[in-house]
Amino acid sequence: ERKGLGHPDSLCDGIAEAVSVALCREYKRKCGMILHHNTDKVQLVAGRSNPKYGGGEVISPIYILLGGRATREFEGEEIAVDTIAVKAARDYLRNIRNLDVDSHVVVDSKLGRGSFDLLTVFRDKNKEIPLANDTSFGVAHAPLSEIESIALNAENRVMEEYRNREKAIGEDMKVMALRERDKITLTIGDAFVSKYVDDYEHYEAAKQRLRDFISGIAESYTSREVNTQVNMADTPDSVYITVTGTSAEMGDDGAA
């Protein structure tokens, strides 16, 4: 399964990384080193919206809470942690093309201070190798399997190529790939952008074009039978359209 750029969980992950990068830059600029921080506690609370063919509105904004820890002072000089964090989060959210960062979302920083013993670990300049404040393992594998390649590249290419010519495609895309012997089923969820969809017939045609594009990608990786299905919960009276291109606008929370 591949959760795309605009999925609420992916948004939280991306924001957490963006905040960390921004803090690292400021720490190095102001202090000459990266100071202790953990910014991976991001929570997204979905807003409320009213999408409709040809338009719609966000009624209540998405709320994003930035949690974790960050060093706020170095050798008597204050570091504007919250200002840096909020700006980094808002800048990252501009990746969602139809999300108005000024009116569709509220970003709140509650980054706390780190404990004294952990702060001193990072400030020891006499160590040749930087010290860590925790123990962690990273696990990876390569190469990707056939079906992993399909799931990953389907979402990547829709966002990098197809989205530029089909404005109705939202960044909140999920690709689930299932192989049963020699049959592959791709189940796609995409938050279509309502202002670019005129009516149900237009929506169904846009879905079919997306289905064909993804099937073509899959068939370039496999000789197995591929069945691609898009937004399977749709009915003529209820379809998956959004104002912003992400389900975070209504009904889908997220966390890093």
Q: pTM of the entire structure?
A: 0.91
pLDDT at position 112: 92
Cis upstream peptide for 143 (omega within 30°) = yes
Q: Contact at 8 Å (CB) between 255 and 63?
A: no
Architecture of the domain made up of 2-122: 2-Layer Sandwich (3.30)
Task: Give SS3 for 117.
Answer: helix
Q: Using CB atoms within 10 Å of the CB of residue 7, give its burial: 0 to 12 exposed, 13 to 18 middle, 19+ buried.
A: buried
Task: Say if residue 124's pLDDT is above 90.
Answer: no
Q: Which alpha helices (DSSP H) does the chain contain, by range?
A: 8-31, 81-93, 116-122, 146-160, 200-219
Which residues lie across from 235 on neighbouring strands?
238
For 178-236, how does the pLDDT look when each residue is reduced to its tens digit (9 = 90+)?
A: 999 999 999 999 999 999 999 999 999 999 999 999 999 999 999 999 999 999 999 99
Q: Provide the 10 A C-beta neighbour count for residue 133.
A: 14
Asked whether the domain spanning 146-255 has the same topology as the one spanning 2-122, the reply is: yes
Task: Say if residue 119's pLDDT is above 70.
Answer: no
CA pair distance 160, 217, nearest whole angstrom: 13
For 55-64, how does the pLDDT look when each residue is reduced to its tens digit (9 = 90+)?
A: 999 999 999 9
For the domain made up of 146-255, give the CATH fold: GMP Synthetase; Chain A, domain 3 (3.30.300)
CA pair distance 185, 167, nearest whole angstrom: 26
Helix axes 8-31, 81-93, angle to 10 degrees: 140
Q: Provide the 10 A C-beta neighbour count for residue 251.
A: 12
Q: Using CB atoms within 10 Å of the CB of residue 72, give its burial: 0 to 12 exposed, 13 to 18 middle, 19+ buried.
A: middle
Sequence ranges of the domains in the chain: 2-122, 146-255
Task: Say if residue 96's pLDDT is above 70.
Answer: yes
